[in-house]
């Protein structure tokens, strides 16, 4: 049997209430008593039972993180940011993978609630209406790190659309006409919006939106294969959501002797470590992955703590890393 607050109380000749007080830093304890209790705690190596605490106080000091795939560098980098801030505020993190499956997301959400987490963070955004409904109905604070069509949800994200616009304008200035846009296989709302943005910019410059070609690929290997198709349509620029896919496309060019960036410009939107491990180095939108996580978790701590929050939506600014796969 593990040792409890009662044991400490008995050994220290005080009531359990007093032990609880010193445990929780309540100032209304005589310094002498505090010392005595602390000594006993140390001597018995007493550790409070967080579960009992959670039940009594209705605060578990635990936050749930719902993540599409933890082994994806993009998400694990964000998670690192989350984690560091969570540690700072003494929150434990419960994670759940969902593989972009709405059903699993819903399940994860409910499981976390039943675990009485103090808050929940969604990585990668949510489009599913059922989940959005759940979020809005729940009394548990939720922060989304990523895109959501629902504006009433707290979230932090980066301003992809602006960045994409700048990229496309650059392409046009450099005389590129045919743009291949490579989404993930999941076709999230954000990806669709970015496609629209590309078309929009093209048309602003009096270029038909038929010059944008949509593809999808999820892995490095699929990227390599995909290059053949991109080559066929004679695209002169590629915007790929994922670094890994962009890397695959890049290596596809090597096999076909297509010169990058002279004959084909490539840029990706993820900014994982993979981007600079390519030769030539991938140009990429400099998404502040770690910061998205850190800011998201900080926001959540504020909400959990009933602090004022200025804005529902935090948009982190985005720079573009022009490396070696673009002519600039």
Which residues of the chain form contacts with DNA (CB under 7 A)? 1-2, 4-6, 13-18, 20-21, 23-24, 27-30, 32-34, 46-49, 52-53, 55-58
Cα–Cα distance between 83 and 41 in angstroms, integer?
29
Do the beta carbons of residue 212 and residue 179 sit within 8 Å?
yes
Cα–Cα distance between 73 and 173 in angstroms, integer?
32
Does 173 participate in binding a copy of itself (rule CB under 8 A)? no
Does 257 participate in binding a copy of itself (rule CB under 8 A)? no
Which among a copy of itself, DNA, none contacts residue 28 (Cβ within 5 to 8 A by kind)? DNA
Give the residue with the Cβ less far from DNA, 15 or 152.
15
Do the beta carbons of residue 280 and residue 325 sit within 8 Å?
yes
Which among a copy of itself, DNA, none contacts residue 38 (Cβ within 5 to 8 A by kind)? none
Find the binder of a copy of itself among 3, 33, 44, 54 (CB under 8 A): 54
Give the residue with the Cβ less far from a copy of itself, 55 or 233.
55
Find the binder of a copy of itself among 15, 39, 43, 52 (CB under 8 A): 52
Site string for a copy of itself, 105-144 (x = CB under 8 A): -----xx-xxxx----------------------------
Pairing of strands 313-316, 283-286: unpaired
Cα–Cα distance between 296 and 187 in angstroms, integer?
24
CA geometry: angle at 219 spanning 214 and 221, to 5°?
Answer: 100
144 Cβ partners below 8 Å, 6+ apart?
121, 122, 125, 126, 135, 153, 154, 155, 156, 157, 296
From the CB of 70, what's the least distance to a copy of itself, in Å? Answer: 5
Give the residue with the Cβ less far from DNA, 60 or 211.
60
Cα–Cα distance between 319 and 163 in angstroms, integer?
7
Q: Which helix (H) or strand (E) holds 110?
A: helix 102-114
Does 274 participate in binding a copy of itself (rule CB under 8 A)? yes
Q: Which helix (H) or strand (E) holds 295?
A: helix 289-304
Query: How many alpha carbons fall within 13 Å on the CB side of residue 1?
Result: 5
From the CB of 52, what's the least distance to a copy of itself, in Å? Answer: 5
Which among a copy of itself, DNA, none contacts residue 17 (Cβ within 5 to 8 A by kind)? DNA
Secondary structure (3-state) at 298: helix
Which among a copy of itself, DNA, none contacts residue 277 (Cβ within 5 to 8 A by kind)? a copy of itself
Give the residue with the Cβ less far from DNA, 34 or 104.
34
Phi, psi values for residue 46, rounded to 5°: -75, 135
Binding-residue total with a copy of itself (CB under 8 A): 45
Give the residue with the Cβ less far from DNA, 58 or 137.
58
145 Cβ partners below 8 Å, 6+ apart?
78, 82, 121, 122, 123, 124, 125, 155, 156, 157, 292, 293, 296
Site string for a copy of itself, 86-105 (x = CB under 8 A): -x----xxxxxx--------
Cα–Cα distance between 260 and 255 in angstroms, integer?
12
Per the DSSP assignment, residues forming a β-bridge with 155 are 144, 313
From the CB of 19, what's the least distance to a copy of itself, in Å? Answer: 15
Does 47 participate in binding a copy of itself (rule CB under 8 A)? yes
Give the residue with the Cβ less far from DNA, 43 or 273.
43
Q: Which residues contact a copy of itself (rule: CB under 8 A)? A: 47-52, 54-55, 60, 62, 69-71, 73, 76-77, 79-80, 83-84, 87, 92-97, 110-111, 113-116, 220, 244, 247-248, 251, 254, 273-274, 276-279
């Amino acid at each position: 049997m593990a040792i409890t607050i009662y044991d400490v109380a008995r050994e220290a000749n005080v009531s359990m209430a007093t032990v609880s007080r010193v445990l929780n830093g309540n100032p209304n304890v005589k310094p002498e008593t505090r010392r005595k209790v602390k000594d006993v705690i140390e001597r018995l190596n007493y550790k409070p039972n967080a579960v009992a605490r959670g039940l009594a106080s209705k605060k578990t000091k635990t936050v749930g993180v719902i993540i599409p795939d933890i082994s994806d560098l993009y998400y694990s980098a964000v998670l690192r940011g989350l984690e560091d801030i969570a540690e700072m505020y003494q929150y434990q993190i419960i994670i759940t993978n969902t593989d972009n499956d709405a059903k699993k997301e819903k399940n994860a959400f409910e499981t976390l609630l039943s675990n009485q987490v103090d808050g929940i963070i969604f990585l990668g955004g949510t489009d599913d209406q059922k989940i959005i409904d759940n979020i809005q109905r729940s009394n548990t604070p939720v922060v989304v790190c990523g895109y959501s069509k629902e504006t009433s949800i707290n979230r932090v994200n980066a301003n992809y659309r602006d960045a994409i616009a700048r990229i496309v304008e650059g392409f046009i200035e450099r005389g590129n006409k045919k743009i291949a846009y490579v989404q993930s296989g999941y076709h999230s709302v954000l990806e669709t919006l970015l496609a629209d943005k590309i078309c929009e910019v093209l048309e602003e410059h009096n270029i038909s939106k038929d010059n944008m070609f949509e593809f999808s690929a999820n892995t490095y290997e699929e990227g390599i294969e995909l290059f053949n198709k991109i080559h066929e349509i004679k695209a002169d620029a590629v915007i790929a959501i994922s670094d890994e896919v962009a890397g695959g496309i890049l290596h596809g060019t090597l096999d076909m002797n297509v010169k990058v960036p002279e004959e084909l410009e490539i840029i990706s939107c993820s900014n994982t470590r993979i981007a600079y491990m390519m030769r030539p180095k991938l140009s990429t939108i400099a998404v502040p992955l770690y910061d998205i996580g850190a800011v998201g978790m900080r926001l959540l701590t504020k909400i959990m703590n009933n602090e004022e929050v200025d804005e529902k939506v935090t948009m982190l600014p985005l720079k573009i890393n022009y490396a070696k796969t673009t002519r600039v």
